[in-house]
Each structure stands twice: as C-alpha cells, then as structure tokens.
Amino acid sequence: MPTYQAVLFDFFGTLTRGVQRSAAHQTTADLLGCPADTLAAVLDRTFYQRASGEHGNAEATLRWVCVQAGVHPSDTAVRAAVAARHRAVRADTRLRRDAVSALAGLRRLGLRTGVISDCTHELPAFLPQLAVAPLLDVRIFSVQLGRCKPDAALYLTAAQRLDVRPEDCLYVGDGGSRELTGAQRAGMTAVRLTAPDLAGHLVFDAEEGWDGPVVESLSEVVELVDALPATC
C-alpha cells in the first residue's frame, strides 16, 4: 500500500457498531398513524431518495414518506414524528469502542481524518454532539451534497476540502452503497471493515465480491497506517 495523508471513514456500521432499527421507531409510526412495518418498508425502498435530499428538509421529507405510506397525519403529528425519528436514529447510533482512540491515533501520526456518509437529515444534526466530532477534519453528508455513494463527488469533495489528492487517501467502510468500489474509482485506496457485529447491520446496496484488503477493527487501521514507511 502507498503512504497516506488522510483516512476517510464511512459512519454507520464503520465508526458505529452495526445498526438495527430499535423499538424506539415505533413512536414515529404511532405519531404518523402508520403501521410500523409499513413505515419501515417505505423507508427502506426510499433510502437513496431521502439520503440525497430530493424532498427537502426533514419535515418535508417525512411528509413525502407519509404519502408513499398512504397516511395523512396532521402538521402537528408530522413535526412530533420528525423529533421522534431524530431521537430514534440517535438512539440506534453507538460508536465503536475504539472509534475515538483510532481517530486520535491517526491524528497523532499526522494524518487528517474525515467521514463520508450516506445519511438522512438526522446525522448532520447530532454528529456535532458525538465524541468523534472534534477528531474529524471534514464531514461529507449525502443529504447535503445531493449525491449518494458510490458517486465520485462525495470522495472528491472530501479530498478537496482536506487539500489532498484522492490517491493520498485511505477509505474505510463496511461496504454499504458499494462505497469501496466508489472510493477506488475516485482514486483512493479502500479497506473493508468486517467486524462481527455487522452480521445484522441495516445496509443498502452492499458491496459484493470484495477481494481487497480488510480489517476487523478500527484499531487495525491505525496499525496498518503506522506500519507503512514514512514519506520523504
């Protein structure tokens, strides 16, 4: 592998443990007057539309979801459901035990760090309150950029904001949204995280047949980078 100036991470399932929708999402469904399984099915099939911000802000997007689900809640109910969904997504988000230490370790080695996430409106709102936030030099959110992985725009925007070349970046992800292939096509080196908890992870358009490098923990990423020869 080459040496690097930056390491970029996927968020859900990479900096966090595997994600599953918890019982907390029932509140959102109840507020909307929608069966929970119906709401989950609509959320699943519309993920990329929602994650690219096609339907406006969080409230406008949830109103559109309601139309797809065939329910027509009041304005008050929709606003309450937006808040409930925010709390539920936040509750489902559990940072990996070594997320903070890995990011800090990479920064001690002189590397810049960042996150590139396919996400809806909730993550940009609560990420600043997470322990990893001060350790991320750049944050690229699909819902803000209007593109989803594996679109090269996300990777190239991250590199541009870090003022580094794509080929000087290492990208680490669990493989959702064919993100590893996307990183490679953008000129980056990609590594797949294969932590055991990802077996039940909620993932869309997973990378198939990955034959590139893998790690089982974020700590291994620091070890991998630290073992590389120093640049001149």
**Dist CA 153 CA 171 (whole Å):** 14
Whether the pLDDT of residue 1 is over 70: the answer is no
Rg (CA), the chain: 18
Instruction: Report whether CATH 3.40.50.1000 matches the domain 6-19+94-226.
Output: yes
Local confidence band at 228 (pLDDT 50, 70, 90 cut-offs): confident
* Distance from C-alpha of 157 to C-alpha of 118, rounded to nearest angstrom: 14
What confidence tens digit (pLDDT) does each residue in 115-172 have?
A: 999 999 999 999 999 999 999 999 999 999 999 999 999 999 999 999 999 999 999 9
Domain ranges across the chain: 6-19+94-226, 25-92
**Is residue 149 within 8 Å of 158, Cβ to Cβ?**
no
The answer, yes or no, to whether the previous bond of 128 is cis (omega within 30 of 0) is no
In this predicted model, what pLDDT tens digit does every residue of 101-125 receive, in sequence order?
A: 999 999 999 999 999 999 999 999 9
Q: How many Cβ atoms sit within 10 Å of the Cβ of residue 11? A: 26
Question: Which residues is 172 bridged to in the sheet?
Answer: 9, 191
Do you know the residue count of the chain? 232
| pTM of structure | 0.94
In which band, very low, low, confident or very high, does the pLDDT at 2 lie, cut at 50, 70 and 90? low
